Amino acid sequence: MEVFVPVHPGEARVYTCGPTVYNYQHIGNMRAYVFADTLGRALQFKGYKLTHVVNITDVGHLTSDADEGEDKMEKMASRQGKSAWDIAKFYQEDFERDLTRLNVQPKQHPRATEYVDAMIEWGKQMADKHCYELESGLYFDVSTVEDYGRLARAVTDDGEGRIDTVEGKRNAADFAIWRKTPAGETRQMEWDSPWGKGAPGWHLECSVMGEKLLGFPFDIHTGGIDHREIHHPNEIAQNQAFCECGGLSEATNSGAKIWMHNNFLVERSGKMSKSSGEFLRLQLLVDKGFHPLAYRMMCLQAHYRSELEFSWEGLEAALTRLKRMVMAAERLSDAESQPMAEHPKFKPALDKFEEAISDDLNTPIALTALEDAMATKKVDAGIKRAVVEHMDAVLGLGLFDLTREALRIRPENAKITEAEIEEALTRRKAARAEKDFATSDAIRDELTAKGVDVMDGDPLGWEWKLG
Ligand code: AMP
Ligand code: ZN
């Protein structure tokens, strides 16, 4: 743990490895962006002016990280009979829709294909000292930079971190800067370069977009923990080569001063794999009746460096917790938010929150601080509202924009509409008022048969849900 000292006073510049837009994002991927968004919000909370880039990989990512296999974009394009460009556009839009649904604040989304000229320039600059050509393209020689793989604590000759498969590589961990289109083939996405017609290697784009948009060094680079082994060490090696700077004992030599990785969301039955037919994506949660922000809550409940196991029960628990918070916020809805003057009653919760957020983004504790603030008694509602808004600005749950009704579970394939349920419940209420319990029970049974759980006296005021 170290104190965050910005490269540019008063500013925080963050780069987050973005999605490869050849398919829908699964909710594990979305955990990476919820984490990055919460980090960005925390930096703003601390008063920094935030510049945050999340790139869009629309070229160059192969089905294997070992410079092998097909380009993910082209493979999906031929499978769907569309152009790679159409595939990229479609899945980028879907990704951005999911970000919005998760209250992820707008960020810059540069596309790799817009930076190919800049990537070629980088390649030219590094080529003489750091690269060599093979039949299949231009490769980076990792032995030409100091401390290669230090981020992953990798052993590069044997064992961990070993990646070869391409014949002729000098070191197992060498990687492609440029992939030549094989003779006699045409790719949908290809460009002319000094190393022949082809496409850039995947790692190059993040180095180039990071440098172009944020300048070297910038403050924080994020990504999922899988990137700590190959993608980020390779980015760092390129950055060292580009800057012609030395070893990694100097943090700024890696391009970004701090590298942060979120751990994985795991799911035991394998539904996270994009190759498993219907995989777990945000839309599936919505179709099963869960509000997307229940998933954000689920993410916040775990520390970003811990593995998080997905289960429907866990999601339902997160939804219930969110609902309790929304109910507390509803009680403050009439209050005018007051300037958050020093208020002794809120000091413990505010201090706890501040400490938790500053302690490597400890959102599980921060959530309990928010609950403490909400439970504080005999205080001015306006000040309470200000405190809740202050904390929610970091957590991004949007508590004052949500309603209990919006959080109600209603799967898309339900056999009954919401209006029909409300109508039946109104009839049932009238029957009960007249002590006509036979009718009341009959209506309840009717609803049960259609999959509606009627929840009399539910403390959360849910009244019904679709099972
Ligand atoms: P990709 O589109 O495969 O490049 O992945 C996009 C982002 O999601 C990267 O930062 C990955 O490290 C991250 N990621 C992939 N799978 C998971 C997972 N199961 N849980 C959390 N993050 C993930
Ligand atoms: Zn990246």
Q: In this structure, which residue's CA is closest to atom 9 in ligand 1?
A: 224
Does residue 73's CB lie within 6 angstroms of at least one atom of ligand 1?
Answer: no
What's the rounded Cα separation, in Å, for the pair 177 and 199?
Answer: 9
Q: In this structure, which residue's CA is closest to atom 7 in ligand 1?
A: 29
Ligand with an atom nearest the CA of residue 65:
1
Q: Per residue of the chain (467 residues), what is the pLDDT tens digit?
A: 899 999 999 999 999 999 999 999 999 999 999 999 999 999 999 999 999 999 999 987 777 666 667 788 888 888 899 998 999 999 999 999 999 999 999 999 999 999 999 999 999 999 999 999 999 999 999 999 999 999 987 655 544 455 667 889 999 999 999 999 999 988 889 999 999 999 999 999 999 999 999 999 999 999 999 999 999 999 999 999 999 999 999 999 999 999 999 999 999 877 777 766 667 999 999 999 999 999 999 999 999 999 999 999 999 999 999 999 999 999 998 888 887 767 899 999 999 999 999 999 999 999 999 999 999 999 999 999 999 999 999 999 999 999 988 998 888 888 899 899 999 999 999 999 999 999 999 999 999 999 898 988 888 777 888 87
Does residue 60's CB lie within 6 angstroms of at least one atom of ligand 1?
Answer: no
Query: For residue 267, which atom of ligand 1 is closest to its CA?
Result: 19
Q: Tell me, in angstroms, the distance from the centre of ligand 1 to residue 146's CA.
A: 28
Q: Which of 35, 226, 272, when mutated, tests ligand 1's pocket best, judged by the most ligand atoms within 8 Å of its CB?
A: 226
Amino acid 47: pLDDT = 97
Q: What is the DSSP secondary-structure string of 348-400?
A: HHHHHHHHHHHTT--HHHHHHHHHHHHT--S--HHHHHHHHHHHHHHH---GG
Q: In this structure, which residue's CA is closest to atom 15 in ligand 1?
A: 29
Amino acid 171: pLDDT = 93
- Which residues lie closer than 8 Å to 297 by C-beta, 6 or more apart? 318, 319, 321, 322, 397
What's the rounded Cα separation, in Å, for the pair 219 and 196?
Answer: 35
Does residue 228's CB lie within 6 angstroms of at least one atom of ligand 1?
Answer: no
What's the rounded Cα separation, in Å, for the pair 117 and 222?
Answer: 25
Do 198 and 222 form a contact (C-beta atoms < 8 A)? no
What's the rounded Cα separation, in Å, for the pair 463 and 467?
Answer: 13
Does residue 198's CB lie within 6 angstroms of at least one atom of ligand 1?
Answer: no
What's the rounded Cα separation, in Å, for the pair 186 and 366?
Answer: 53
Amino acid 270: pLDDT = 74
Give the angle subtended at the CA of 394 by the CAs of 383 and 222, to the nearest 5°: 170
Phi, psi of 150 (to 5 degrees): -60, -35
Q: Which of 21, 29, 220, when mutated, tests ligand 1's pocket best, judged by the most ligand atoms within 8 Å of its CB?
A: 29
